């Protein structure tokens, strides 16, 4: 921040906390940075100050008597929406933090005890974002003004037109930069949501980001457009937000090993997550994908028991990506599976739990991305190609040998296997040798 500008017209910060020691610490920390500092010991006192003073940014504690931080910041948003709002909160206040995000539309929350450098940078970034938004509006107005001027120019002012055109291009570049900053801020907010559940640690640490990576790559492989792929990415990052209220011992146990009452609680999390997201305009298209990511292709899932193509394609993709990672973490079945075992589970449940088209695309994706660490890939007959070599014996379900290990399949063998599968109405899974890339 330019110290000369701060000295000429200092930005004003208001800190609201019922603990004098906290207010004193914040004043000592920010006074050297050239801001004008105001303090209030309660939400009511803070509102009274705001009626008299012009304030650029408010930092409020969550836990205060009479009026908590979420209610106070909601009042600030309603009456002075231009003021940037930041919440101070403890890790135990997750529910209240979500309320503040929804009701007060806070820019960021900072956990107590804070890191001095981090909170200084957070407030500096928040004020810079406010400046960019104001500059964005100014530039839009400037562009409109320049367009009016261009209409008044005539053919004899060619040089002037050229100069104005150059100015407009520069203005559009500034606007694009401002738009990218706002988009980055939105994605950062999504990251905060996604990170809330991972603050608990345990097996869920890193889960949402891995699922988001699988889902994004799978959506691209299936040819979905950029907007749909973006919604799927956001849904993957936020799919477990409804688990915030669950205790730690439930989050780390396999779903199948939980008692019936705890399974019932876990099964509520997709609907809870969708309810949190549906009130946010930018995430309305994401909420249904979160709600339905535990639905099954055959209708046996939850919460709505949707069947087949009634499920949004984004939810079908998210289900496969989520279960692939959950199987390896050991939160879906009673042990942690290896990548090849997790992939085999998906293929075995193709047409039951999972959309066959999505599983086939994911199997192809994993065959490419895991080629350096696996030596075999489970496949269904629809994926077989002449020349592929079996890495295991193919046994009939009655126990007798159909094809021996190391046998190379050809078109005739594939046709014969398809006849067996059709006549017995039982899908065959073959394990194909995958040569690792040197």
Residue-wise pLDDT for 209-260, tens only, equals 899 999 999 999 999 999 999 999 999 998 988 888 788 777 777 887 888 8
CA–CA dist 308, 289 (Å, integer): 14
Position of tokens 């999504």? 190
The pLDDT assigned to 201 comes to 52
The pLDDT assigned to 3 comes to 47
Write out the E strands in 139-284.
none
CA–CA dist 328, 3 (Å, integer): 53
The pLDDT assigned to 262 comes to 87
**Dihedral of the alpha carbons of 422, 423, 427, 431, in degrees to the nearest 10:** -90
**For residue 59, what are the β-bridge partners?**
15, 86
- The correct answer on CATH 3.40.50.2300 for the domain covering 3-124 is yes
Position of tokens 């017995």? 424
CA–CA dist 95, 180 (Å, integer): 30
Q: For 207, how many CA atoms within 13 A lie in the half-sphere containing its CB?
A: 29
CA–CA dist 218, 205 (Å, integer): 22
The pLDDT assigned to 431 comes to 84
- The correct answer on CATH 3.90.105 for the domain covering 375-438 is yes
**For residue 377, what are the β-bridge partners?**
432
Write out the E strands in 65-123.
84-89, 108-111
Report, in this order, helix, strand and coil percent for the chain, each rounded to 5: 60, 10, 30
pLDDT per position as a tens digit, 314-367 = 999 999 999 999 999 888 888 889 888 999 999 999 999 999 999 999 998 887
Correct CATH for 202-370 of 1.10.3210.10, 1.10.4080.10, 3.20.20.70, 1.10.150.120:
1.10.3210.10
The answer for residues whose C-beta is within 8 angstroms of residue 164's C-beta and 6 or more apart is 146, 149, 150, 153
Collapsed DSSP state (helix, strand, coil) of residue 406: coil
Q: Tell which residue, 294, 432, 421, 420, has the closest CA to residue 364.
A: 432
The pLDDT assigned to 91 comes to 59
**DSSP string covering 125-154:** HHHHHHHHHHHHHHHHHHHHHHHHHHHH--
Position of tokens 């940075």? 33
Collapsed DSSP state (helix, strand, coil) of residue 94: helix
Each domain of the chain, given as residue ranges in start order, spans: 3-124, 126-197, 202-370, 375-438
CA–CA dist 169, 380 (Å, integer): 55
Which residue ranges in the chain fall short of pLDDT 70?
Answer: 1-8, 91-97, 99-100, 102-104, 152-158, 160-161, 164, 167-168, 171-203, 369-375, 434-438
Collapsed DSSP state (helix, strand, coil) of residue 356: helix
CA 221 to chain centre: 20
The pLDDT assigned to 5 comes to 47
pTM of the complete model: 0.50
Sign of the dihedral defined by the CA atoms of residues 387, 388, 393, 399, in that order: negative
- Tokens representing residue 124 in the block: 């500096």
Q: Are 207 and 240 in contact (CB under 8 A)?
A: yes
């Amino acid at each position: 921040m330019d110290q000369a500008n701060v000295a000429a017209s200092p930005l004003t910060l208001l800190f609201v906390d019922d603990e004098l020691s906290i207010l004193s610490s914040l004043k000592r920390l920010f006074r050297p940075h050239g801001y004008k500092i105001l303090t209030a010991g309660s939400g009511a006192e803070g509102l009274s100050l705001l009626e008299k003073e012009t304030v650029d940014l408010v930092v409020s504690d969550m836990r205060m008597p009479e009026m908590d931080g979420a209610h106070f910041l909601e009042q600030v948003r309603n009456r002075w929406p231009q003021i940037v709002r930041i919440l101070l909160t403890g890790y135990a206040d997750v529910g209240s933090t979500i309320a503040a995000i929804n009701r007060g539309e806070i820019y960021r929350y900072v956990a107590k005890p804070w890191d001095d450098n981090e909170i200084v940078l957070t407030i500096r970034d928040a004020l810079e974002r406010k400046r960019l938004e104001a500059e964005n509006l100014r530039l839009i107005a400037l562009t409109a003004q320049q367009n009016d001027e261009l209409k008044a120019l005539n053919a004899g002012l060619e040089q002037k037109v050229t100069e104005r055109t150059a100015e407009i291009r520069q203005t559009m570049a500034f606007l694009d930069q401002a738009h990218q900053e706002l988009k980055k801020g939105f994605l950062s907010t999504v990251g905060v949501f996604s990170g809330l559940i991972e603050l608990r640690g345990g097996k869920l640490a890193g889960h949402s980001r891995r699922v988001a990576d699988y889902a994004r790559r799978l959506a691209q492989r299936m040819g979905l457009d950029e907007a749909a792929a973006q919604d799927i990415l956001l849904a993957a990052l936020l799919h477990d937000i409804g688990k915030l209220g669950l205790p730690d011992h439930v989050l780390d146990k396999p779903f199948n090993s939980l008692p019936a009452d705890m399974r019932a609680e876990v099964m509520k999390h997709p609907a809870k997550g969708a309810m949190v997201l549906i009130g946010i305009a930018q995430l309305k298209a994401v909420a249904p994908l979160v709600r339905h990511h535990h639905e099954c292709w055959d209708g046996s899932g939850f919460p709505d028991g949707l069947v087949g193509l009634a499920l949004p394609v984004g939810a079908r993709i998210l289900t496969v990506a989520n279960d692939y990672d959950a199987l390896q973490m050991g939160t879906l079945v009673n042990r942690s599976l290896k990548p090849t075992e997790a992939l085999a589970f998906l293929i075995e449940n193709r047409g039951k739990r999972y959309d066959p088209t999505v599983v086939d695309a994911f199997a192809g994706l994993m065959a490419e991305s895991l080629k350096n660490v696996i030596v075999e890939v489970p496949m269904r007959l629809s994926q077989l190609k002449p020349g592929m070599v079996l890495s295991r014996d193919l046994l009939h379900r009655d126990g007798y040998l159909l094809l021996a290990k190391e046998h190379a399949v050809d078109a005739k063998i594939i046709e014969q296997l398809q006849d067996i599968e059709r006549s017995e109405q039982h899908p065959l899974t073959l394990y194909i040798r995958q040569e690792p890339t040197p």
